[in-house]
Amino acid sequence: MQLRSLILYSKSGKVRELEFRLGELNIITGSSRTGKSIVLDIVDFCLGRDDAPVSVGPITRTVEWVAVLLQLPDTRAFVARRLPAKGKKSISTAMLEFGSALQLLPYERLANNCDSDELRQQLGRRIGLGDVRSEPQPGSLQAPFAVHLGHAVPLCLQNQDEITTRSILFHRQGERDAGARLSSTLPYFLGAVGEDQAQKQHALTAKRRELRRRQQDLKVAETADGDIDAHLHLLLAQARTAGLISPGEEFDSREALLDALREAVRFPPPAPGEEPSHAERTAALHARRTQLRAQLGEIGEQRQFLIRQEAAEDSYTQVVQRGISRLHAVDLLPDTDPRVENAACPLCGSHLPQPDHAVEDMHQTLNELRGQLTSVRTVRPRREQTLRELADQADITREELRGVEGALNSLTELEADRTRFRAQAEEQAFLRGRIDAHLTQLPDTGDTYEGSLLQMRAAAAFAQAQVDDLESELDTDAMQDRLDHALNYINTDMTAYAQKLKLEHSKRNVRLDVRKLTILADADDGITPLLRIGSGENWVGYHLVAHLALHRYFTLHQRPVPRMLLLDQVTQPFYPSEVAKDSGSPDLIRSDADRNTVHGMFELMYDFVNDLTPNFQLIVSDHANLPDQWYQDCVRYNWRNGDALIPHDWIDEHAG
C-alpha cells in the first residue's frame, strides 16, 4: 500500500489534490503554519482512525471532506471521510471504493458506504492481513483482539511531537493500551508468529482456560465428596442443639442421615397462638400506676396540711392558756357595776368618784379567751378523724399500687419468655434454611453421583490431552528463534544507519526492544535505553534508523504492513529560529556538524528508498530545503511565499 494522492474537498465543492510518486522519496518543504503536518494527520484519519486529528483552523473552516487514493498490490482504493461536525471530535463513517484505474472522485459522488471498522478490515485484507488474533502476554489484563490495519498504521507514521521524544518510539504509543497492542502485534508483523500459529495460539489459550475450569470443578467436587460426611455430622449436631432432631436418634448410613436432615428441614414451626394485647395491658397498667401515685401525692399533701394546722393550733392553745392563767385571778374580785355612781373599789372597798372599767374589761377578755380555747378543742377531734381516714386511704392506694407494679413485672417476664421463644423459633428457621441450602448444593450421592465424578475426571483428562496436542504443535522455542532472527536482521541495519548518522552510542550494537518498545544501545557503562540518551538530534536520529530498519525488513520479507512511511519535521532540532525554519536553507543551521547531520539524514532516506524502489515510498514534511539537485528532484511541494495546503481563495471564500 502506497499513497498516490491526497485530496481535499472544500465546503463549496472545490477540489485540491496533492500527488505523490510511488516508490520514491517525496518531500513537502515549506514555512511554518502552511499545513505540512496536517498531511500526516489526514492520512492517519483516512486509514481508519475515528477521532479526526486535524486541529481547529483553516482546514476545519474550509474543508468538508478529506480523501486519499491508495495504490494496493492488485488495485487502487479511494477512501474519503467527512470531517466531524463542529463541536465533535470523532466520526466512524467512511467511503471506500476499489478499482484498477480509479482516480479521485468528484465532490458530487462522495457518500458514506461503510464504517471505520469495515474500512480497516477491507484494506487490511488487500495487503495480506488475514483473520489473525493476538494473544497478550501471560499475566496481562488485556483481552485477546483481532489484528487489523489499525495495528499496522502506527508503524508507518511519525508526527513532529513523536519523532523528537525519547519516551516513545511509535505513533500513538503513549495512548491507553496502544503500547500493549503494539508489543503484542509486532511479533506477528515481523513474521515470528504465522497466521496458523496465531490461530493455534488462540485455541491453546482457550483450551488452557477450559482445562483450568474443568480441573477446578473436579477439585471442588472431589473436595466436597471428601468432606461431605463431616459437613453432614456438623449439621446434625446443630439440628440436635436447636431441637430439630431428637438427641438420642442415631444413623447408620449417609442416606439415613440425609433423610433425617431433610425431615428436619420440613419440621413444622410452632404455632404462634393467640397473642394477648400486651401493649394495651401494659399501657393501662402504666396509666393506673401514674394515677395511684398522683392519689398518694394528694393524700400526702392533705395530711401534711392537717398536721401543720394541728401544730399551729397547739401553739395557739398554749398562748391562750397562758393568757387565761394570767387573768384567772380576776375571778376572785367581786362583781361591780361600772354604771353605778359611787361604786366601791374591788380591792380596797373605797368609793370611787368615777367608775372603773378595768375589772370589767379583764373579765370580758378572760371570757373571750375561754371561748376561743373551747372552740379549738371542739375542732380537734374532727381533724384527728380526718387524719385517720387519710392514712387508711393511703394504705389502700399503696396496696393497689404494689399490685399494679407486680402485674407490670409479670408482663415484663412474660414478654421476655415470648422473646426467647421467638428467638429459638428464628434460630430453628435459620438452621432449617442453612441445612436446606447445603443439601441443595450437595450432588446426588448415589450411583448418579459416582458417574458424575467419573465424567468430570474424563472431561479434565480430555482437556489436558487437547492442550498437550496444541503445545506439541506450537513450538515456542522455534517462534522465539524466528523473532530473534528478525530482530538480529533489523538490529544490524539499525546499527549501520546509526553509525552513518554518527549518533551517540552507535559505535557498538544498537537494537530494538519489542517488549518495552524502545531502543537499546551498548555503552561503556552498560546498556543505555533511548530514554537515557541525550539531545533532540539523537532522538530524531534513532527514531529514523529504527523505522527505516523495520520497513526494510517488512518490505524484503513481504510482511502485511503498508509500504510507506510518513515523517514530519525530522530536522526541527537543527533549526534555531523561526526565520531559519521559514527559509529552510541549510546555511542558517547553527553549525557545520548539524548541517552535515541534516544532509546525512536526507541522503540516508534517499538511498534507502532507491534501494527498495519501487516497493517502498517515503513522504517527509519538513522545513529543510537543501540545494542539492537530488533533493530538489524529490521535492513535490514547496509551500513558501504564500503557497500552502489550503489555497488562499478557499480561506477568503469562507472568511465570514
Using one digit for the tens of pLDDT, what is the confidence trace for 106-154?
Answer: 999 999 999 999 999 999 999 988 666 555 555 444 445 577 898 899 9
- The grid coordinates of residue 376 equal 379549738
CB of 142 closer than 8 Å to CB of 157 = no
Helix (H) or strand (E) holding 519, with range, is: strand 518-523
**β pairing state of 114-115 and 133-134:** unpaired
Residue 13 pLDDT: 92
Residues 179-206: pLDDT tens digits?
888 888 888 899 887 766 656 766 777 7
Least confidently predicted of 150-154, 367-371, 376-380: 376-380
Between 546 and 274, where is the model more confident? 546
Residue with grid cell 538530534, as numbered in its chain: 537
The residue among 6, 129, 126 whose CA lies nearest residue 76 is: 126
Say what the alpha-carbon torsion angle 354, 360, 365, 370 is, to the nearest 10 degrees: 170
**Measured distance CA(505)–CA(526) in Å, rounded:** 11
Distance of alpha carbon 135 from the chain centroid:
26
Where does the pLDDT of residue 318 fall: very low under 50, low under 70, confident under 90, or very high at 90 and above?
low
Q: Does domain 2-190+475-653 have CATH number 3.40.50.300?
A: yes
pTM of the model: 0.61
> How far does the chain reach from its first CA to its final CA, in angstroms?
40
Strand (E) or helix (H) holding 17? strand 15-19
Contact 3, 616 (CB under 8 A): no
CA distance 456 to 218: 6
Task: Compute how many other C-beta atoms are within 10 angstroms of the C-beta atom of residue 219.
Answer: 12
Indicate the domain borders of the chain.
2-190+475-653, 201-254+443-463, 279-441
